[in-house]
């Protein structure tokens, strides 16, 4: 995640806002296009932090442990 932030593609505050909402159990708005993934990422979800910057994540059990799996553009994440 630090690599993406250092690249200037996104502000730290934008990523922190999304991660804080997820960790707090707040449902993301439609603008984040949050949805479940299948295949290799079955059990994970993806949301758009901004534009084509995607955050792949998983929330485990009722403990709300947020596991950020990956962050990057669609082509960086899915080839």
Q: What domains does the chain contain, in order, with CATH numbers?
A: 2-78 (3.30.2310.20)
- Active site includes 48? no
Q: Is the per-residue pLDDT at 32 higher than 70? A: yes
The helix/strand/coil state of 16 is: helix
Gap between the Cα atoms of 69 and 45, Å rounded: 9
8-state DSSP, 52: T
Mean pLDDT, residues 10-31 = 89
Please say if the pLDDT value at position 1 is more than 70. no
Which is catalytic among the residues 18, 74, 77, 78?
74
At residue 10, the 3 state secondary structure works out as coil
Instruction: Give pLDDT, residue 40.
Output: 87
45-50/65-73 β-pairing: unpaired
Length of the chain: 79
């Amino acid at each position: 995640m630090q690599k993406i932030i250092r690249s200037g593609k996104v502000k730290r505050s934008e990523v922190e806002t999304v991660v804080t909402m997820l960790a707090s159990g707040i449902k993301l708005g439609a603008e984040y296009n949050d949805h479940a993934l299948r295949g290799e990422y079955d059990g994970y979800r993806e949301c758009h932090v901004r534009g084509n910057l995607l955050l792949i994540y998983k929330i485990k059990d009722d403990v709300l442990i947020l596991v950020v799996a990956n962050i990057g553009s669609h082509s960086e994440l899915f080839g």
